[in-house]
Amino acid sequence: MPRTSKAEAELTLDEPVIEGRYARLGPYTVGYETVKQDIDPAPLFRGLPEDRCQCPHWGQVLTGRLVFRYAGHDEVFHAGDTYYGAPGHLPLLFAGTEIVEFSPTAELDRTMEVVGANLAKAAS
């Protein structure tokens, strides 16, 4: 049975606003994310359909809170909540939030390709 832990997951993202450790488990990627500063990453999703994340996510908020904004409503998750983020959301992240999240790797990779390109544009 595939398994991982936060300590074993590769540190892939270490920015002033967020730290992300990720590992692949079969066709899924598990992400351990720690938010260091409040962030609205909406501009990073430009270029995806509807300029929103199209990858589904399942996860749990360990500390803090997480908001998924959809076209017609917001969904707010607090420490202890288990969640499903349907395609078509925009996350809103808050300092001190820690989550464990599972995403289909193929969809996540397509999303992160666009996010990475937008990050590169913003840095130049």
Domain boundaries defined on the chain: 10-119
10-119: CATH topology is Jelly Rolls (2.60.120)
7 in Cβ contact with 15 (< 8 Å) = no
pLDDT of the residue at 1: 54
Which amino acid type is present at position 70?
A: Y
E strand spans, the chain: 10-14, 18-25, 28-35, 57-63, 65-69, 74-78, 82-85, 90-93, 98-104
pLDDT of the residue at 124: 81
For residue 29, list its beta bridge partners. Answer: 24, 103
pLDDT tens track for 70-112: 999 999 999 999 999 999 999 999 999 999 999 999 999 999 9
**How far is C-alpha 74 from the chain's CA centre?**
16
Residue 67 has pLDDT above 80, yes or no: yes
Average pLDDT of the chain to the nearest whole number: 95
